[in-house]
Every structure is written in structure tokens, then in C-alpha cells.
Copies of this chain bind each other. A is one copy, B any other.
Amino acid sequence: MEKFKVVGKPLPRLDAGEKASGEGKFSADIYLPGMLWGKILRSSHPHARVLHVDVNRARRLPGVKAVLTGKDVAHIRYAFVDTPRYPADQNPLAVTKARYIGDELAAVAAVDEATAEEALSLIRVDLEPLPAVFHPEKALLPDAPLVHELDYRGKTVWEEWGASGRGEFEPVRRGDNISARTSVSFGDVEKGLNQSHHVRQDRFETPATAHCALEPHVAVASFDLSGKLTIHLSSMGIFYKRFILAKVLGLSLGKVRIVKTYVGGAFGGKIDLFPYEILAGLLARQAGKPVRIELSREEVFATTRHRHPVMIDITTGVAKDGAILAQDIAFVVDNGAYRGSGPVVIFLGYTFHIPVYRVANIRYQGLAVYTNNPVKGPQRGHGAPQIRFAVDSQLCMIADELGLDPADLMLKNAREKGDVLYGTGDTLHSCGLKECIERAVAISNFKGKRKMPKSQGSKRTGLGISTCSMFSGAAYYPFASAAIVKMHDDGTATLFTGATEMGQGCDTTLAQVAAQVLGLKLEEIRLVSGDTELCPIDLGSFLSGGAMVSGKAVAAAAADARDQLIKAAAQLLEANPADLKLADKRVFVAGAPEKAVSYAQVIAASIQRRGGDSIVGKGSQKPVAEADYYPSLAKIKGRWTEAYGFAAQVAEVEVDLETAQVKVLKVVTVHDCGFPLNVQIVEGQIEGCISMGLGQVLSELVTLEHGTVYNPSFLEYHLPTSSDTPAMEIDLVHSLDPKGPFGAKEAGEGTVAGMLAAVANAIYDATGFRVKSLPVTPYLLSKGLGRKSPGISPNR
């Protein structure tokens, strides 16, 4: 393998200094001159008709500069998904009905925070409470209250790229609470099950969880004299956000500038456009002043989307040797009061299953159901933790029942390089899954330690294994990634990328790619990112396309600049461009390193001999490179991504049978990320996933009763702390994906999903209790272990 000087190295992050010193600016640090404070009045009913919102007293309060109610925004509908099949279903302020506790009813902007708060208290809202529904199974009953009475059919702007307003929509009466449905089928499931040696049927359930970004949600919006909106916010994809924000505000895309500050945690929770962001823009326009809206911690917990709670019914049939012959899966999600990403997550449940195991016959059905719970949205893995929990928990049960080792069963069914995935048509050009399983088993001594004597007093230890996969960026309409590399007179370079640094390290990783291609040191690359005005288009930092898609665009832009450098140097050195190499900011003739010119000389020569060109390179990359998907994504229906990352994880737990406390002692993760562009950053991502997965399996859930969030604070929401953190051992498989820059593909999102089944299976190994519902709180576990009175709260 070629020796690299910059990529593949555990180089320190470019943002480390600013973040460690406190000099880095987050959106909460943005204060503009003359700025107003915006506040939002929210519904305290889970389901209610809005009879009247009287804002007269609020409007008359001195210092109040703008007031908005549902009537002002009735023409604005938006949603995460907005297609003819699933048209937008949310207004930035409730118009006819409030549909969950926290639904936005009115917004004000005032000269200071106290005045804005007082103005909210002066707004009188007449609500007529309606029967509400909080569980998808109840919401599917024929007499259930309808969360949405109307749907809208017509043409969306998503079809008419570039249009700034909405198409025409016809309201259509709805008869049920089904928000979205999907199904994928391959082979003959009935036949497959009939032919199976062993069949097992289970239901698994996962709860709503919160993203728990430490930085609260803040938007600061201001209009300039030309009518252009600049909005500072914490984002995961500035071009996606610009696209829908411009659309809902009726502005041309060029009239919206998104400026991203540092992002203090996102985890999928800052992809979506939120009402507070739209309202900041609308209030700023009405007031003619900048407006800042900062959500309180309670608002963040209750109103900014949760992970989808899912009920997964899964029937699996295997041959005697363990080969999976058939799988029948129903994936039913509560998507809350608005559709959010419901239509997406029910398909993702399939896409995160199919790359892992070969399944001869499959039927997958997804259903998203409206309830009067808070809205759901993407959260790290977005469907992957749920489906991986179900599939790998059940596979472990089947292995036990067949007397097989679960790791062997996984290996038996694991996919290999060259497989083509049914339903997406994606080809696995690289696949290190088997190596991941084998190494994880070896490193953890899985076979040796499992089922061995391991009790000490009331404590029992156990091991569990699981696998996972994640795509490397996915096509969505109509985005791609591009990059610009501007060389400076001293041979250093500025990289312009629209990719969004949100803590995952993409600024550093992308700069490494540019530095490697250009023969520069990392510190010789400066970055301009996070600004739609300055940066070229980018897919955004979700869908795990940072390395594969944005990285490929950066590599292409750097290669373009490099080729220009070489061309100019060839003229100076009177050499053949093909004979030239780059190193240490010098271009030299291969085999004759004394025949060299510095980059500075080459650039000066380029300026003076080649028409003034100081060297600017550009490059771009589509998520699915070969596909021509204009004018519609429908043209590549199925194709999803260029590459899949893989991992296998083994968790070792210790369960105290007396207290029903689970302690995860150690997690071994073997990850195939193709090639780690920065080992330290890849490992950091995995460590974060392990910690997040730990919360999801053991302690985290949004406690909801009748639509009320009972734990909207870090005190009550049980995020794992550093003292809960297990020992972590990480190993990386270099499968060198041919499509990725230097072989890189997804890193850092998949392994949150593996933790759930690994820990659940380890708990079984330690205690014999089969976890089918999360989180495995002491209350649940003590009940599972047969205690009649656990003597502890259900919430702990």
C-alpha cells in the first residue's frame, strides 16, 4: 500500500485549539447589534382545536416588535419529507389544531428576553381539547381520534427544483392515522419459512430517545437591505437547510445565507428545519431587525424531535446449518404529531438490515403512524439501532436454540464483497464484515469467555455479539458535494467545502484529504466551511457521506489544483508533466529531485506566464456516482449509496442480580471503514457511538405519559456518564473501498446500532433473561429476573 504522509495519521483536529480555549463560537454565542429576542408560546394540550389566539395585549406591550400567530403562517407548510405521496403536513405555528404538547401557537420578538416572556404571558389562547391518542396500535383502531383530518395532494417544489414557492395542493380527507407505509419483498417468504429447519417469531420494542446535544438550539436571523436573509444556526447540512428554509419563506435560494457556527452536538437532531428557525426569519422580516430564538433545555427535550419508537415483529426461518432462509419483518413506528422523517425511517429499517446478512427470501413492511406524541426525526443511525437490535437479538436466540455459537451463525450468513443488495441495487465493492466478526471474536475471547463460570457473589458476567452496517452518503434530491481549492502565493491552500463540521471532525478529515493530494502539511490547509454564500454545494453531514462524497469532491478539487501546479511547473522545469512529483511544497522531476521548483515559484510563474492564474481547483461528487437522476430521484429508485461500512461488536457485561444493575465492562469494536483518514477521529466517533449506544440499551428514554415529557432535563433524562463508560478496544479493518477517497467509506454512525443487541445478548449470557424491550432498566431487568416487587422506580 502507498505510504501516505497526511491521511491515515492520527493528526490533531483543526478545531481543537479554538474549542479547548473557549474561543470557538457556537450559535448561542452570536449576538448582533440591535438584535431582538424571540420566544414561542406552545400548546399545553396534546390535541386541541385552536379557536382563537388574541395577541392584542402582547402587541401593545412596549418593546414588542413583532408578533405572529397561526393565521400569519397558514400559507406555509413544510416537512422533512415533502413529496406528492407525502406532502408537507406542518405549519410553523398551529393553524387549526394543536397536535402535541409543545406545538407552536404564537411567537413574539421583543427588545429583551424578559419583555418577550411577558408578551407571551399576555397572549390569550382559546383551545378546545380533543380526544388524543398516544400509541400507534391504538391510533390504528377504526374509531381512533384523527391527528390529521386532511392531507394535501399536488405538486411540490421538491419536483420543481429552483422554484421558490409551493405548488398547488388539493386538500384530501384522511380516514386513518397512517402517516406512511412501505414494503419490500424478495423471493417467497412463505415458502422459505416452510422449508426452514427452525422458525422463530418475536416482537421487539424500542423507545423514544432524545439527542442530548449539549448546545441548545439557537437561530439568529437578519435581513439585509436587499432582502437577503442571513441566518446563523447550528446545522448538519447548510445547503439542505437553505433549500427548505428558502422554500418556506418564499425566498429565492440565493436570498438565503446559512452561516453555521461550531455545532455543540447534533446526532441527527439538527438536520430538520424547526419551527423556531422559520419563526426567527419571519419575526426578523416583520420587525426589520435581527431576531434570536434560543430554545430552553425543556423546549429542546420536548419539541425538537425524538428517535422513533418502533415495534418490530420479526419471523425468521433458518436451515439446519443456520443459513437464513426467510425473514418476515413488520416495522411499525410512532412518528408523533407530524410526519417528520417517518416515511424515511420505515424504509431505512430495511436498508440497515439488508447489507448485513444474506436472506434468501424476505418480506419487509414498514408503517409510520400519527399519534399526539412529540414529533420524531433522524437520530444517529436513524432506524439502524432499532432493526439491528431486533435482528441480532433474535439471531442469538436462534443460535442458542440450534446449539450454535451466535458468532458462527453471523459468519455463516454474513455478506461478502460483490454481493448486490436486493431493494437498493447497491453492490458491495468492499465488505470486511466477516473479518470484523472474526477479529471481534478473537480480541474479546468471545468463545472462550462465553458460557464459562463467571459468577462472583451476586454478580454475573456475560458476553454478547452483534453486527451493523451503514451507508456512505445517500442520494437525495437534488444534492451532491463540491469543493474549491484556492492556492495562496506561498503554496498553502484554502479549501472551500460546504460540509458541516459538527464535532465529528470533517473539517480536519477533509483538510487532510486536500493536504495529501496537494503534497502539503495539514496545517498548510486553511478551511472555509459552513457558509452557503462562500462554499460550494454539499450533501450535508448526515447520511454518513462525509468521507465518501464530500471527501471525494475535496480530493477531486485538490487533484485539479495539483494538475495545474504540475502543468505550470512542467513549463518552468522544461519537463514532461508525467515525470513530475510533489512533496514538501516543491515540484520535482521523479528520479532527479534536485530538478525542483517551490510551489511559490510555480504559482508566481503561473500568475506571470499563464494569464494571471494563481491556481484554483474544483471538484465534485454525487452520492451515487454513475446514476443520472435528473429530473427525479425516481430515476434511481432503489440505488442508495456507493459503499457500506461494517462493524462487529462484542460487549462484556456484569449484572448484579441483587440490584438488577447492568455494568458494561468492555466493548470490543472492529470496524471496516474502508480506510481511516484519521485514526484518532474514527476512534473518537466509535467511542461516541459506544457511549450513545450504552444509553440507548440501558438507561435512556423519553418518559411520556399522555403526551407529556416527564424528564425534559439532564437531571431526569439518564444519559450515561463518564463513570458508566466501559473499557473500549477498537480495531479497524482496511477494506479499501474502490469508490472512496484513499479507500475510505462510512465511519462513526453505524456502531451506535451494534451496541444494543451486543449488550442485550450479553445480559442473556449473564442472566438467561431475553431482552426484547429497551432500555434494560433495573426495574425491567428485575421484573425479567422474576422479582415480584423490584423495589425500585419504573423510571430507574
Instruction: Identify the A interface with B (CB < 8 A).
Output: 17-18, 21, 23, 161-164, 224-226, 228, 239, 243, 246, 252-254, 478-482, 484, 486, 488-494, 523-524, 526, 528, 532-534, 536-537, 549, 553, 572, 598-601, 603-605, 607-614, 616, 618, 620-622, 625, 628-631
The answer to whether B481 and A484 have CB atoms under 8 Å apart is no
The answer to whether B631 and A604 have CB atoms under 8 Å apart is yes
The answer to whether A225 and B489 have CB atoms under 8 Å apart is no
- Sort A-B residue pairs by CB-CB distance and give the 6 closest, nearest first: A162-B600, A480-B612, A254-B492, A612-B620, A17-B225, A253-B490
The answer to whether B631 and A607 have CB atoms under 8 Å apart is no
The answer to whether B620 and A608 have CB atoms under 8 Å apart is no
Task: Tell me which residues across on chain B come within 8 A of A228, comparing CB atoms.
Answer: 526
Q: Known contacts A162-B490, A162-B491, A528-B533; is A605 also within 8 Å of B620 by CB?
A: no
The answer to whether B605 and A254 have CB atoms under 8 Å apart is no
Q: Known contacts A164-B490, A225-B23, A492-B254; is A536 also within 8 Å of B608 by CB?
A: no
Copies in the complex: 2
Task: Tell me which residues across on chain B come within 8 A of A18, comparing CB atoms.
Answer: 224-225
Of all chain B residues, the one with the shortest Cβ separation from A494 is B533
Task: Tell me which residues across on chain B come within 8 A of A533, comparing CB atoms.
Answer: 494, 526, 528
Q: Known contacts A21-B225, A161-B600; is A621 also within 8 Å of B611 by CB?
A: yes
User: Whole-angstrom distance between the alpha carbons of A250 and B329 in the complex?
Assistant: 67
Of A480, A608, A621, which is in contact with the most chain B CB atoms at under 10 Å from its CB?
A608
Of A161, A164, A491, A628, which is in contact with the most chain B CB atoms at under 10 Å from its CB?
A161
Q: Known contacts A526-B254, A608-B480, A622-B608; is A614 also within 8 Å of B536 by CB?
A: yes
The answer to whether A536 and B17 have CB atoms under 8 Å apart is no
- Smallest CB–CB gap between A39 and chain B, Å? 26
User: Whole-angstrom distance between the alpha carbons of A628 and B526 in the complex?
Assistant: 30
Task: Tell me which residues across on chain B come within 8 A of A598, comparing CB atoms.
Answer: 162
14 of the cross-chain contacts (CB-CB < 8 Å) are A18-B224, A21-B225, A162-B600, A254-B491, A478-B604, A478-B608, A526-B533, A528-B533, A537-B607, A537-B612, A605-B630, A612-B622, A613-B618, A614-B620
Of all chain B residues, the one with the shortest Cβ separation from A605 is B630
User: Whole-angstrom distance between the alpha carbons of A620 and B609 in the complex?
Assistant: 11
Task: Tell me which residues across on chain B come within 8 A of A489, comparing CB atoms.
Answer: 161-162, 239, 243, 253-254, 478, 537
- Smallest CB–CB gap between A448 and chain B, Å? 48
Task: Tell me which residues across on chain B come within 8 A of A254, comparing CB atoms.
Answer: 488-493, 524, 526
Task: Tell me which residues across on chain B come within 8 A of A246, comparing CB atoms.
Answer: 490
The answer to whether B478 and A607 have CB atoms under 8 Å apart is yes
- Smallest CB–CB gap between A629 and chain B, Å? 5
The answer to whether B630 and A609 have CB atoms under 8 Å apart is yes
Of A486, A523, A553, which is in contact with the most chain B CB atoms at under 10 Å from its CB?
A486
Q: Known contacts A489-B243, A553-B612, A607-B478; is A601 also within 8 Å of B162 by CB?
A: yes
The answer to whether A620 and B630 have CB atoms under 8 Å apart is no
Task: Tell me which residues across on chain B come within 8 A of A622, comparing CB atoms.
Answer: 607-608, 611-612
The answer to whether B601 and A628 have CB atoms under 8 Å apart is no
User: Whole-angstrom distance between the alpha carbons of A639 and B598 in the complex?
Assistant: 27
User: Whole-angstrom distance between the alpha carbons of A524 and B252 in the complex?
Assistant: 10
Task: Tell me which residues across on chain B come within 8 A of A608, comparing CB atoms.
Answer: 478, 480, 622, 628-631
Of all chain B residues, the one with the shortest Cβ separation from A627 is B608
The answer to whether A616 and B614 have CB atoms under 8 Å apart is no
The answer to whether A17 and B604 have CB atoms under 8 Å apart is no
User: Whole-angstrom distance between the alpha carbons of A226 and B18 in the complex?
Assistant: 9
Residue of B161, B253, B609, B616 touching A488 (CB-CB under 8 A): B253
Of all chain B residues, the one with the shortest Cβ separation from A246 is B490
Residue of B479, B534, B610 touching A528 (CB-CB under 8 A): B534
Of A164, A491, A600, which is in contact with the most chain B CB atoms at under 10 Å from its CB?
A600
- Smallest CB–CB gap between A254 and chain B, Å? 3
User: Whole-angstrom distance between the alpha carbons of A564 and B62 in the complex?
Assistant: 54
Q: Known contacts A17-B226, A162-B598, A612-B622; is A607 also within 8 Å of B526 by CB?
A: no
User: Whole-angstrom distance between the alpha carbons of A669 and B177 in the complex?
Assistant: 77
Residue of B23, B604, B610 touching A162 (CB-CB under 8 A): B604
User: Whole-angstrom distance between the alpha carbons of A489 and B610 in the complex?
Assistant: 31
Of all chain B residues, the one with the shortest Cβ separation from A225 is B17
The answer to whether B612 and A161 have CB atoms under 8 Å apart is no
- Smallest CB–CB gap between A156 and chain B, Å? 14
Task: Tell me which residues across on chain B come within 8 A of A480, comparing CB atoms.
Answer: 607-608, 611-614
Task: Tell me which residues across on chain B come within 8 A of A534, comparing CB atoms.
Answer: 494, 528, 534
Task: Tell me which residues across on chain B come within 8 A of A572, comparing CB atoms.
Answer: 630
User: Whole-angstrom distance between the alpha carbons of A413 and B631 in the complex?
Assistant: 65
User: Whole-angstrom distance between the alpha carbons of A604 and B631 in the complex?
Assistant: 8
User: Whole-angstrom distance between the alpha carbons of A185 and B463 in the complex?
Assistant: 94
Of A489, A536, A610, which is in contact with the most chain B CB atoms at under 10 Å from its CB?
A489
Of all chain B residues, the one with the shortest Cβ separation from A481 is B612
The answer to whether A484 and B631 have CB atoms under 8 Å apart is no
Task: Tell me which residues across on chain B come within 8 A of A625, comparing CB atoms.
Answer: 611
Task: Tell me which residues across on chain B come within 8 A of A549, comparing CB atoms.
Answer: 612
Of all chain B residues, the one with the shortest Cβ separation from A524 is B254
Of all chain B residues, the one with the shortest Cβ separation from A623 is B612
Task: Tell me which residues across on chain B come within 8 A of A532, comparing CB atoms.
Answer: 488
User: Whole-angstrom distance between the alpha carbons of A600 and B620 in the complex?
Assistant: 18
- Smallest CB–CB gap between A159 and chain B, Å? 11
Of all chain B residues, the one with the shortest Cβ separation from A607 is B480
User: Whole-angstrom distance between the alpha carbons of A621 and B608 in the complex?
Assistant: 9
